[in-house]
Amino acid sequence: MEEAREMEQTTAKDQTEPKEQAEQEVHTAQKQEPTEVLVPQFVVPLGTTLAELETTKQRLLTNEEIIECRDKEPCVMMKAEDVEKLSAVREFVDIHAENVLADWHRRRIEFCESFWPSLVFYVPTKGEVTQDCRELLDAREVKYEIKPHSKTLHKHFEEQASWYTPVASGEEIASIAEHTDYFVLRTKPFKSSQALEISAPFIPLIGELLDLGALGVSLETANLVHSKEAWMRFVRRFREQPLETCVFSLAQMPVTTPDSIISIGMHCLGQPDYSIKKETLLSMGFTPENMGEAACNLFQSLATYLIGTCPPNSFISGNTFSITADAPRLKVDIQNCNLFKDADIRYNPFGVWHLSRD
C-alpha cells in the first residue's frame, strides 16, 4: 500500500568526507532545541458546531460546508500533550481538525441525533438444533428473538448469496426451506471505535452455530449470505488473520450498480464503504468481465490497510493510493452514503470512500 505523502527535500550528504560530515551533524544536533508540537484546539468543540450547523440545515453537510465551518471557527494553539490531558479530563475527543472530513463522517453519529449501526443476523434452524443454538446464545449473552417458519426465507438467502466459494448448492438452499424456526441475532448499536470489538467475536460464534447444525447464516446488515462451508473457511482463517477475515467475511463486495461497483456492510467494521465508477475501471485497463474482481481487490486492499496498519487520522480525504508500485494511482474522497435511507440497517453512517483516477 503506497499512500501519497509530501516528503521534505533533504540535501545530499558528501560521502567523500564521512568523518567531517559526521562531526558536523553531532555538533548541529547538540545546538538544536526540541520543538514544541502545537495543535489547534477549538474554543467551541468543532463536533458541536458541525452538529448545530447540520440541525440548522436539516440535512447532511457537504464536504465544502464542513471545511468552511472548520476554517471559520476560532481556535487556540496548544501543546499536543496538553490537548491530550484536556481530552482525558473532559472524557471527550473533538473532531480532528486536519482530517476533518473523514473524522466527521466517522464520528458524526456521536454528535447528532442519528441511527447507530448494529449487526443483524438470520440463523435458520430445525428441530432440536433450535434449542441447542438457544443455549449457546444464552451462554454467550447474545441478544436474539426466535421467529417461526418463513416461506420466503430460502429465497432471501439465495438472493443475497456472496461469490465466495464454495457457493451454496441447490441442496443447501432447499434445506433452509425446511427450517422450523429462525433466530434474529442483534448486537447493541455501536459507534465506529466500538465496531471491531463487537463484530469480530461473531465469526467464531457463527462456526459454533453451524457445528450445532444451524442451516445457514445471513448478515442482514451487509445484505450478505455465505455458504456454510465458506463461513467455516472464514472461521478457520480468522484464527490466523482476524482483521483481514473481518473485511472479507462481513462486507458484501463487489456489488454492481448500473454505473458503479460498490461495497455494502463496511459499517459492520466501523468504516466507510467503497465505490468506483465502471468507466474508471475501464480506463485502468480492466474489462467488463473482470472489473468486479478488480474493484473488490482495490476495496479489500485499502480497507485492510486503513483498519490495520494505517496510523489514526493519517489518511485524509483527497489522498491517493495504489496497490502496487506500477499500478495507476487512485484518489480517495469521502462522501455521504446515498444508497439507502438512514433507517435501513444497510445504511452506512460513516460514509463512502469514492475512488477515482488521480
Q: Are residues 279 and 161 in the same domain?
A: yes
* 48 and 189 together in one domain: no
Do 137 and 72 fall within a single domain? no
Q: Let me know whether 231 and 295 are in one domain.
A: yes
Residue 348 lies in a domain: yes
Q: Do 302 and 178 share a structural domain?
A: yes
Q: What is the pLDDT of residue 16?
A: 38
274 and 210, same structural domain?
A: yes
Give residue 32's pLDDT.
58
| 218 and 328 share one domain | yes
Q: Which residue has the cell 473457511?
A: 233
* Count of domains for the chain: 2
DSSP, residue by residue, 175-241: HHHT-SEEEEEEPPP--GGGHHHHHTTHHHHHHHHHHHT---EEEGGGTEEE-HHHHHHHHHHHTT-
Distance CA 267, CA 115 (A): 12
- Give the pLDDT confidence score for residue 40 in this predicted structure: 82
Peptide bond into 166 cis (omega under 30): yes
| 74, part of any domain | yes
218 lies in a domain? yes
At 58 the pLDDT is: 95
In a domain, 87, yes or no: yes
| Residue 272 identity | P
pLDDT at position 8 is 38
Kind of pairing between the strands at 217-219 and 224-226: antiparallel
Element containing residue 41 per DSSP (H, E): strand 38-42
- Domain contains 259: yes
Q: For residue 234, tell me if it sits in a domain.
A: yes
Q: 157: domain range?
A: 120-357
Alpha-carbon 143 to chain mean position: 23
Position 42 in a domain: yes
What confidence tens digit (pLDDT) does each residue in 42-54 have? 999 999 999 999 9
Whether 135 and 86 map to the same domain: the answer is no
Q: What is the pLDDT along the chain (358 residues), one digit of tens a residue?
A: 544 443 334 433 344 343 443 444 444 445 555 667 788 889 999 999 999 999 999 999 999 999 999 999 998 888 888 878 877 777 788 999 999 999 999 999 999 999 999 999 999 999 999 999 999 999 999 999 999 999 999 999 999 999 899 999 999 999 999 999 999 999 999 999 999 999 999 999 999 999 999 999 999 999 999 999 999 999 999 999 999 999 999 999 999 999 999 999 999 999 999 999 999 999 999 999 999 999 999 999 999 999 999 999 999 999 999 988 888 999 999 999 999 999 999 999 999 999 999 8
**Residue 258 resides in a domain:** yes
> Are 73 and 181 found together in one domain?
no
pLDDT at 79: 87
d(Cα 278, Cα 259) in Å, to the nearest integer? 6
C-alpha cell belonging to residue 115: 441511527
Q: Are residues 71 and 189 in the same domain?
A: no
Residues 119-166 have pLDDT tens digits of 999 999 999 999 999 999 999 999 999 999 999 999 999 999 998 999
Place of cell 463461513: 231
Claim to verify: residue 282 and residue 340 sit in the same structural domain: yes
Q: Which residues of 225-235 are buried (b: 16+ CB within 10 A; e: fewer)?
A: bbbbbbbebbb
